[in-house]
């Protein structure tokens, strides 16, 4: 009997050892097989053993964003991911502040970047995003156009255009967006405004970011603003950052220069002053096809520049196809002390507009 037990023990021991060696090499073997089979896709294996084929987008806040042609965009808990194979170049940030770039393989116990194993464990990863070295991988761009034409007793034409550009890596973020609207009624222009702004953020932690530069251009002759330039900096913090809801707030000092469209005789037609802004940006994924957003900014400015200003945009983006959206936006602009025109007319404080447009993701 003792000989039987010894034989059984040795059999189980060597079988376990062989299984361990096979398991440790399995991920490398599967990686090579999948990459050679098709260079177009990234691969993700769940702890259930199921495989997903598609495009890896990012990993933030313990969630993996993965896009499948059939299942659309998925947000999967990191604990449910057993293996990730990415062919494109990624930027990986670890919890000690180290940032590495390269093709990524995440296994249960090891992380391989550019075919070389690192000293990090998967639990050490803070975030993963497309690298700037991956052409177009870190960029997102969307262009929207809208029009409303009326002919007959009323000759009215309304045009709107939007641009939304984003670039996000594991350590920084660039946001650029613009909104333009023009309305004419019986060949008389009744609305003609442009607002464009850009920010660059550097993430100090997964929640806290430093904004070294913020820029905005605004034009609205009907508010007696021919051109308004704002340049500033600040700090920001993600209050909520989940797979469904993102909400960050930012604040900081700024310098602004305002050129008025017309002014009364003897009044200055320009103003340069210091200001301070507070901004809030909220994005919520209501369903897989509907995204909601609410952006708000309050700028403290002296009365000579028009006083305190507020800008708010509430919108919804509805997916029609993979690359085409139907967008609805409600925009509110408020100026506390509008500067009078040359004829003494004082513009109204509030401006509202509803915009319907079709957006194309590039």
The percent of residues above 90 in pLDDT, for the chain, comes to: 34
Terminal CA-CA length for the chain: 73
**Residue 4 phi, psi dihedral angles, 5° rounding:** -65, -45
Burial bucket for residue 44 (CB in 10 Å: 0-12, 13-18, 19+): buried
**Residue 144 phi, psi dihedral angles, 5° rounding:** -120, 145
Q: What is the mean pLDDT of the chain?
A: 82
Q: What is the average per-residue pLDDT within 203-217?
A: 88
Per-residue pLDDT tens over the stretch 126-145:
778 776 665 555 677 889 99
pLDDT band at residue 152, thresholds of 50, 70 and 90?
low
Region class of 283: left (phi > 0), else alpha (psi between -120 and 50), else beta: beta
Residue 243 has pLDDT above 80, yes or no: no
Residue 83 has pLDDT above 80, yes or no: yes
Residue 151 has pLDDT above 70, yes or no: no
Nearest CA-CA partner of 185 in 138, 148, 221:
148
Per-residue pLDDT tens over the stretch 3-22:
544 544 444 444 444 444 44
Q: Where are the domains of the chain?
A: 2-130, 139-361
pLDDT at 168: 75
- How far from the centroid of its chain's Cα atoms is residue 255's Cα? 25
Pick the CATH number of 139-361 from 3.40.50.1820, 3.60.21.10, 3.30.390.10, 2.40.160.40: 2.40.160.40
Residue 47 has pLDDT above 80, yes or no: yes
- In DSSP terms, 37 is beta-bridged to none
Question: CB 163: neighbour CB atoms within 10 A?
Answer: 15
Considering only 87-91, 260-264, 328-332, which range has the smallest mean pLDDT?
87-91
DSSP string, 228-270: EEEEEEEEEEEEEE-SSEEEEEEEEEEEEEEEES---TTS-SE
Is the model more confident about 267 or about 258?
A: 258
Q: What is the average per-residue pLDDT within 28-46?
A: 67
Per-residue pLDDT tens over the stretch 96-126:
767 788 888 887 777 888 766 666 778 778 7
pLDDT at 115: 64
Question: CB 49: neighbour CB atoms within 10 A?
Answer: 7
């Amino acid at each position: 009997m003792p000989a039987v037990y010894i034989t059984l023990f040795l059999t189980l021991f060597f079988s376990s050892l062989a299984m361990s060696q096979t398991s440790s090499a399995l991920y490398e073997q599967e990686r090579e097989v999948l990459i050679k089979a098709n260079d177009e896709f990234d691969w993700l294996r769940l702890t259930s053993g199921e495989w997903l084929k598609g495009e890896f987008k990012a990993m933030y806040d313990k969630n993996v964003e993965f896009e499948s042609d059939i299942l659309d965009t998925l947000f999967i808990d990191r604990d449910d991911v057993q293996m990730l194979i990415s062919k494109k170049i990624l930027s990986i940030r670890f919890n000690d502040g180290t940032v590495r770039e390269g093709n990524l393989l995440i296994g249960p116990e090891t992380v391989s970047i550019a075919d070389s194993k690192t000293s990090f464990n998967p639990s050490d990863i803070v975030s993963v995003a497309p690298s700037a070295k991956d052409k177009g991988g870190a960029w997102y761009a969307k262009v929207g156009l809208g029009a409303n034409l009326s002919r007959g007793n009323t000759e009215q034409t309304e045009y709107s255009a939007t641009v939304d550009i984003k670039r996000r890596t594991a350590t920084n973020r660039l946001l650029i967006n613009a909104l333009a609207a023009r309305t004419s009624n019986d060949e008389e222009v009744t609305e003609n405004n442009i607002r464009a702004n850009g920010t660059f953020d550097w993430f100090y932690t997964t929640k806290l970011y430093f904004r070294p530069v913020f820029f905005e251009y605004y034009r609205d002759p009907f508010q007696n603003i021919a051109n308004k330039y704002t340049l500033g900096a600040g700090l920001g913090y993600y209050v909520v950052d989940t797979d469904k809801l993102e909400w960050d707030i930012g604040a900081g000092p700024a310098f602004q220069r305002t050129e008025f469209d017309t002014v009364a005789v003897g009044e200055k037609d320009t103003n340069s002053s210091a200001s301070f802004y507070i901004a809030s940006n909220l994005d919520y994924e209501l369903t897989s096809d509907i995204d909601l957003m609410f952006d708000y900014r309050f700028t403290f400015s002296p009365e000579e520049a028009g006083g305190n200003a507020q800008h708010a945009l509430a919108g919804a983006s509805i997916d029609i196809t993979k690359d085409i959206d139907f967008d609805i936006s409600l925009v509110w602009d408020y100026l506390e002390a509008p500067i009078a025109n040359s004829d003494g007319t004082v513009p109204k404080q509030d401006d509202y507009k509803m915009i319907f447009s079709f957006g194309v993701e590039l």
